[in-house]
């Protein structure tokens, strides 16, 4: 009989009894549990020395993984270099054969435009998602930093700690070196990394609340002579609709926003003591973190990859 200890379970292997049934295994488990009373005090002693930790999902790392996934998909689309099909040329004659006539050009145009439309629709979803998520991504960095580095006496006062976490993001940033440990110098609110991030946060509100501002969203002028539309210049209307569907959330704009968050994190990290910065970077890069509530301690309990073994006996 062998007891095999795995990361998350224990397996019992018995050799020489190939025909064990379910009732046999249940009887074994029942016998083992019945024998616990013989070791009650020793079991209690061992358990009292255990450290209790709660695994929780790192919100910053979760958002980072989503942002990276969307950035990769948007970059592969390369929508800025997607060439829309030219409209079919006018023909001076009427053809009797569809094979040689303008119908084949129109079919090819419609098919190609449909493919481009699908790519623009995907780009729209990715750009909109990134534009909304990116500021939250940046804010999660600040909030996790506060969670990691807030002074012990500050965390001990729940009302004070909660009040700080709810303050406007610019106030939270400026007070980092005051309310947190590990900073070698205060956050400079005039730094471009801070100003660009705050601008990103402010612009997010228009999208988040669905604000309508024609001055910001306009892309085409058209005049009407009663019921007749008159465009100032010749317009590829279908192409114009597609190209301008990303107005205000262009790929270059949203990708720049991602870099803004990275620049913010880089700047804030540069203000930390070397030892503290390495600890923060380790925690930020870990998806599943540990929390020990009795000591209010955060920890990295497992490496980046955890292997669960399975054994097959021949």
Q: How confident is the model over 172-216, as pLDDT tens digits?
A: 999 999 999 999 999 999 999 999 999 999 887 666 655 556 666
**Torsion over CA: 113, 114, 120, 123 (sign):** negative
For 127, list phi and psi in degrees, rounded to 5.
Answer: -65, -45
Mean pLDDT on 263-278: 95
- Which has the closest alpha carbon to 130: 259, 18, 233, 227? 259
Q: How far apart are the first and last CA of the chain?
A: 16
Q: What Rg value do the Cα atoms of the chain yield, rounded? A: 31
Domain spans in the chain, listed from the N-terminal domain onward: 2-48, 57-87+100-299
295 within 8 A of 306, measured Cβ to Cβ: no
Whether residue 219 is predicted with pLDDT greater than 60 in this model: the reply is yes
pLDDT at 209: 55
Four-residue CA torsion sign, 286, 184, 199, 241: negative
Residue 40: what pLDDT?
Answer: 86
Instruction: State how far the Cα of 132 lies from the Cα of 146, in Å rounded to an integer.
Output: 22
Read off the pLDDT of residues 21-43 as tens digits, 9 standing for 90 and up: 999 999 999 999 999 889 988 99
Rounded CA gap, 148 and 291, in Å? Answer: 11
At 275 the three-state DSSP class reads helix
């Amino acid at each position: 009989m062998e007891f095999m200890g795995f990361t998350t379970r224990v397996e019992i292997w018995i050799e020489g009894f190939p025909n064990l049934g379910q009732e046999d295994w249940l009887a074994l488990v029942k016998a083992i549990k019945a024998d616990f009373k013989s070791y009650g005090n020793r079991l209690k002693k061992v358990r009292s020395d255990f450290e209790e930790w709660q695994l929780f999902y790192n919100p910053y790392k979760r958002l980072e993984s989503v942002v990276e996934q969307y950035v990769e998909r948007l970059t592969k689309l390369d929508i800025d270099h997607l060439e829309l099909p030219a409209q079919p040329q006018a023909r001076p004659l009427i053809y009797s054969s569809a094979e040689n006539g303008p119908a084949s050009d129109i079919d090819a145009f419609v098919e190609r435009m449909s493919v481009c439309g699908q790519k623009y629709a995907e780009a729209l979803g990715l750009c909109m998602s990134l534009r909304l998520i990116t500021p939250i991504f940046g804010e999660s960095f600040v909030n996790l930093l506060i969670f990691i580095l807030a002074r012990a006496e500050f965390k001990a006062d729940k009302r004070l700690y909660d009040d700080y976490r709810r303050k406007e993001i610019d106030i939270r940033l400026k007070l980092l070196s005051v309310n947190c440990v590990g900073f070698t110098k205060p956050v400079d609110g005039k730094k471009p990394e801070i100003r660009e991030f705050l601008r990103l946060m402010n612009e997010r509100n228009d999208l988040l609340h669905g604000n309508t501002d024609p001055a910001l969203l306009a892309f085409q002028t058209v005049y009407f002579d009663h019921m007749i539309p008159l465009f100032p210049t010749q317009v590829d209307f279908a192409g114009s609709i597609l190209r301008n569907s990303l107005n205000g959330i262009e790929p270059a704009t949203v990708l720049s926003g991602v870099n803004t968050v990275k620049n913010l994190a880089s700047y804030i990290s540069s203000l930390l003591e070397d030892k503290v910065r390495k600890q923060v970077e380790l925690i930020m890069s870990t998806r599943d973190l540990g929390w020990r509530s009795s000591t209010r301690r955060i920890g990295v309990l497992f490496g980046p990859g955890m292997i669960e073994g399975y054994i097959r006996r021949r």
